[in-house]
Amino acid sequence: MKNTYSPDILNCLANLSSDEVFTSPELANRMLDLLPQELFSSSKTRFLDPCSKSGVFLREIAKRLLAGLEEQIPDLQQRIDHIMTKQVFGIACTDLTAEMSRRTLYCTKQANGEYSVATCFDDAQGNLRYMRCQHTWENGKCKHCGANRAQYDRVETIETYAYPFLHKNINDIFHKMQFDVIIGNPPYQMDDGGGTGDSAKPLYHLFVEQAKLLKPRYLIMITPSRWMKGGKGLDEFRRVMREDTRIRYIFDYANASECFQGLHIDGGVSYFLWDSSYKGPVDYSYKSLDGGVYRSSRYLKVSFSELIVRDPRQLTIIKRVSEQRKKAFSEIVSSRKPYGIATDLFNSPENYPASSLSETPFPNSLKIYGVKGNKGGAKRVVGYVSSRFPSQAREEIDKYKIFFSYAYMTTATVPPQPILGKPGEISTETFLRIGPFEKENEAKNCMSYIRTKFFRALLFFNRGQKNASTRTFELIPLIDFSHPWTDEILYKEYGLDEDEIAFIEDIIQPME
């Protein structure tokens, strides 16, 4: 028998990067299913994808409209022309994705081309627009997206990544047009000169904010879930989202591969439906790393945390502990780079001649912990630097402290082994500093606390990105370190019930 299988080309595209990923037709349809389906039976509904890469959202919308309008506009060509000219609109991210999107929607990269499914366009772009934009520089940064001028002030032949939706007035793209539905998968971040991953500048929230300004009836976007727990410059965005009662649905995946096959994004991804006419709790679905799906109906804003609790199984534990917490452990956790010493000290000591870095101690030297090597090959090392080299926390150097790795996988419930720091010992920014403590036994008792599943559960609940910060420790109580701690003592101390204890014991691995 002849094989008639014909794969969808949009399932075969390789992602541009982990920051600009293509949406599969299956995922696009899961998002479209959230909308009232009568929208696809109206000849007046207008849809906009403001960050089109492959054109998949517009194609799947057009397919639904073709079926929904069949009785109203029986002639197929008239129906296609009406949909393409009056109902589906897109703004591409780049010149390349503009051509890809037109090929997907119009079946040719020129909307008015010979082979276009639409017969009524008189220009090549049709309703899938792209215009090369320039950043607007102020003090070395773009005032619209925050791009670093040194990296993105480019000649005409090189892509600037000045996305039209963020850098142009919508009326300059589509004149005086109101959209009923805005849907998309925006670019996630751009390098701002400070690194990648957690250090890069997020972009996706700017697309969400700009879309809201257009006052659609419905807004659907898929983004990293990192904004719920942290993210560079996302505090205000998170506050607004927490307080916005127009969010009707959130589908949240701890594993980004559930949406984007083979792709890892720290903290997972999520998509939401924002409904301008709705006011109430969110219908929240969370899919955990073990594949379980947990649903809840709740408001995102809670009194005991400024972050968003993603897994509803964590809610009662966090609430119970917070009601008894007098102080937060975050009060004794340093900010990044506790002694003002960069991570690359051991890799590039020539850049820090004042450190006098040595493998052996010398007069008036301090012992320093750090890492040497790159990424997967990096290893913890110890050296000695001049006592004059640290630029911060000098008054704490001669006390006991704990060095805690600030970067490790968000899926890990066992952090890299903490280090007991003695007087005269410091670290590079590889570590956060916990303490200081006047007595060694206090530091050791704090270490016993850190090793408990109770402590690491609350830490795990509050992490949404690879890099930990002072805020990551906010859910953890600051307790008395005059004696050691065990899980049994802590479970009783905070009144956790059998189900809550079983949940912690199940998801948090033991720490040797």
Q: What is the pLDDT of residues 284-342, one digit of tens each?
A: 999 998 899 999 999 999 988 888 999 999 999 999 999 998 999 999 999 989 999 99
Q: Distance between terminal CA atoms of the chain?
A: 59
What pLDDT, in 10s, does the model give residues 149-199?
Answer: 988 888 877 888 899 999 999 998 998 899 999 999 999 988 765 544 445
Query: CA-CA distance, 317 to 306, in Å (whole number)?
Result: 16
**What was the pLDDT predicted at 304?**
85
Q: Which residue has the higher pLDDT, 413 or 128?
A: 128
What pLDDT, in 10s, does the model give residues 52-111?
Answer: 999 999 999 999 999 999 999 999 999 999 999 999 999 999 888 999 999 999 999 999
CB 384 within 8 A of CB 367: yes
Pull the structure tokens for residue 22. 């293509």
**What was the pLDDT predicted at 125?**
94
pLDDT above 90 as % of the chain: 75
Helical segments of 115-186, H only:
149-152, 164-167, 170-173
Query: CA-CA distance, 25 to 59, in Å (whole number)?
Result: 9
**What was the pLDDT predicted at 1?**
42
What pLDDT, in 10s, does the model give residues 394-440?
Answer: 889 999 999 999 888 877 888 999 999 999 999 999 999 999 999 99
In terms of Cα–Cα distance, which of 186, 32, 4, 9 is closest to 107?
A: 9
What pLDDT, in 10s, does the model give residues 273-286?
Answer: 999 999 999 999 99
pTM here is: 0.85
Helical segments of 406-497, H only:
440-450, 453-461, 487-493
Query: CA-CA distance, 382 to 368, in Å (whole number)?
Result: 6
In terms of Cα–Cα distance, which of 289, 323, 290 is closest to 305?
A: 323
Would the pLDDT of 12 be above 90? no
Pull the structure tokens for residue 351. 């850049």
Specify the amino acid at residue 168. Answer: K
Domain extents for the chain? 329-507
Would the pLDDT of 465 be above 80? no
Specify the amino acid at residue 128. Answer: L
Pull the structure tokens for residue 137. 């520089």
Element of type H or E holding 182: strand 181-184
Query: CA-CA distance, 499 to 312, in Å (whole number)?
Result: 13
β pairing state of 425-427 and 419-421: unpaired
Pull the structure tokens for residue 146. 């925050």
Average pLDDT, the chain: 91
